[in-house]
Chains A and B, each alone.
Chain A
Amino acid sequence: YAWDANEEYLFKAMVAFAMRRYSSKSTTQISNVLLCNVTDRVSFWFVVTDSSKNVTTVPGSEVEAAIRMNRNRINNAFLLSDKTLQFLKITSTLSPPVEPSTPVWLIVFGVVLCLIVAGIVFLVISGIRKHKKKNKESTERENLEEKVEVTLENGIPCEVLDIKAGHVNGVFAADDERFTSL
């Protein structure tokens, strides 16, 4: 927006408003605020007079304090910020950064660590299970081989007994009870 007489009027109004709020006197009028040396750069000097006290100017420190108190409102009235609307000799108080109760990074770290630990536990347990299954399989295989050997090496191989002519005592052994049941 362009800077014209209406904007100057608004500025005078804001300064008057700031003075009223600061000193709680409702005597400051727009006519009390005087602008001078307005340049194209849009920079100017201004003073605030006190009509109740014989047209003297209000001390600069009071004006500074008033403006500092209401800086936010003045900025917003002109849609500007501390950087774009500069009052010489009035530094802005810096707002502290917002600190959440637990630092954010600790939360993220907790999430990451939980995932890692879950992964490790899963892999270790699956490894142990695989190990156990392999052990069980190998012992089962060993047992099977033993059974096969037993039937072959039981003194005389049983097949040889069948081939040789011999009498099988029917009293002691029935066909299907040749091997002791396990």
Chain B
Amino acid sequence: LSAAPEIPKEDGRPKWDNKFQYILSCIGFAVGLGNVWRFPYLCQIHGGGAFLIPYFIALIFEGIPLLHLELALGQYLRKGSIGAWNTISPYLRGIGVASWMVSILISLYYNTVLTWVMWYFINSFQEPLPWSVCPLNENRTGFNEECHESTAVNYFWYRKTLNITPDIAESGRFQWWLILCLAACWAIVYLCTIRGIETTGKAIYVTAIFPYLVLTIFLIQGLTLPGATEGLIYLFTPNLSTLKNPRVWLDAATQIFFSLSLGFGGLIAFASYNPTKNDCEKDAVTVAIVNSMTSLYASIPVFSVLGFKATTAYWDCLDRNIINIINEFDLPEESIMRQNYTSWISFLNSSYPEKIAGLKLKSCDLQEFLDQSVSGTGLAFIVFTQAIILMPGSQAWAILFFIMLFSLGLSSMFGNIEGVFTPLLELQIVPKSAPKELLSGIICLISFLIALCFTLGSGSYWIDIFDRYASSVPLLVIAFFEVTGVVYIYKIKRFSKGVEWMTGRKLNLYWQITWRFISPLLLLIVFTAFVTLQMQKPPSYAAWNPKYEGFPMKEEKVYPAWVQAICVLLAALPCVCLPLAALFHLVKQKCRSKDPSFVPPEAFSCQRANI
């Protein structure tokens, strides 16, 4: 039993131009939109600086070990996800198939999010920005009613961009402007992935490094804005009592897991193009730490800008109240300023309480404005765009911001597409004589056609469904079976010998403990907690309905039964591949063993598994 793989040196497999390209691709895949719009939100609602404690614990015991496992696997077996798991054990081929399906589902909806980013980008070249003013109504006496009741930013997002329907069952029409942007996005993805890592390796230099530049620019600008310090203090003030809530630990574990893009098969594909004698242990630690540092680094400008926005809203509130008071009491201009507002208010309240009550002043509280926390698309397309309007030179900031979001998302798309592309290439769906460009073209074209359904009026509701169900539960299942499959079926002794051969040093005790016990246990706990929490309440969504009484608040609606069935299908389909593939292989074995003329393939499979 030799540990050295019998792989010829020149097997025609494409390879990275240099190590830096590989590391950058992994970092680009891991660092995505979630680092900018999910991590700062979690930090804020889970007690600021205190959230870093469960976050780093999850990183050490769950994130880094799983990352190392995937990279080592891909590098050792030099195959994409389906081929690699087939080599580990033909019964575990289902893990590869499940990863491949998840990558497809996620590519579909992720690129639609990039479509929205692109739409905002091309609209940022106008003066004034289209989301800063409300359009007029038909007879030009006032503003459009829907826009007037909510805000111009909300109107532009829900009406002008999504043209959203009030219910998920109403599909609405295709939004032609979104179709154009979707076509452009898939064309960009095709352009960059046309020849696999040959082209993505060049593109990643731009898409992975550019976001850091823009984040630095936003950091410098954000820190100079008024109110930035309030935002940062609010973000980072640790509130250790939140750690008692198990929800915080669950969120930390899931955030680390999804942030590192584990279980997609993309990391296995990237690592498979490496030379075998490569230190995958150091790579894994590097990528994981860079990813977490990026999350922290990104939260600083995000929260400076949010603090600025809250402060401006607070000042506006104060100013409106001041104008009302001055008009009512006929006081001279500039007698009441923001600084002496509170003393004036208390004085007036004591002397003329009825007048003050009659004015119906809104209570202005900075904390309340800071507490309005949003994550996800709401952060980027509503809150941040509103903050950008208030900055001087808003077009430039908007353009920079949306290019940054686009690069972040595009580098993650490369990993997703690679997770789809590499296994198909190895399965030889397309004959070997056909160029690679054809396969990537077919993938992009089919994905574009399927993703057209996200450009309907109800598209964003469907994207929420995909985000919640297709990309959460299956990944946890896949990762759990990855770890247990390698450790208990392939046997960790064999695997650690392989890793030692690749890295040149003995496997640390840390990896042994985490791979054997801690990571599988942690994944099991996270999975059960996650599913339990989802089951507790019937799945509902927040619909944007202009006819709702509580408008501009969103209306809480429950998913109809057929939609719930689709949710279950999305979550279950990749998971079901695991037992199905094992069963399929079992049946094939039984059929072959019954046929005496056939040479038992166990010899082959034993040999392959003995690499």
Contacts and interface: CB of A to CB of B under 8 A. Distances in A.
A178 B283 CA distance: 64
A156 B25 CA distance: 59
Interface residues of B, number: 31
Interface string A116-158: 1101100110011001000000000000000000000000000
Interface of A is mostly: helix
Contact of B122 (A97, A105, A124): A105
Interface string B442-472: 0000000000000000000000000000000
B359 interface: no
A123 B331 CA distance: 71
The interface size bin for chain A is 20 to 34
Contacts of B190: 120
Contacts, number: 67
B331 A109 contact: no
Among A97, A105, A117, the one with the most B-chain Cβ atoms within 10 Å of its Cβ is A105
A25 interface: no
A110 B118 CA distance: 13
B202 to A, nearest CB: 10
A109 B180 contact: yes
Contacts of B135: 97
Contacts of A24: none
A129 to B, nearest CB: 12
Contacts of B333: 41-42
A104 interface: yes
Contact of B187 (A39, A43, A104, A116): A116
Contacts of B181: 109
A108 interface: yes
B330 A116 contact: no
B191 A94 contact: no
Interface string B479-516: 00000000000000000000000000000000000000
Interface string A69-94: 00000000000000000000000011
B411 to A, nearest CB: 17
B327 A123 contact: no
Contacts of B180: 109
B140 A123 contact: no
Interface of A: 39-43, 93-94, 96-97, 104-105, 108-109, 112-113, 116-117, 119-120, 123-124, 127-128, 131
Interface of B: 118-119, 122-123, 125-126, 133, 135-136, 140-143, 180-181, 184, 187-188, 190-191, 194-195, 199, 326-327, 330-333, 435, 437
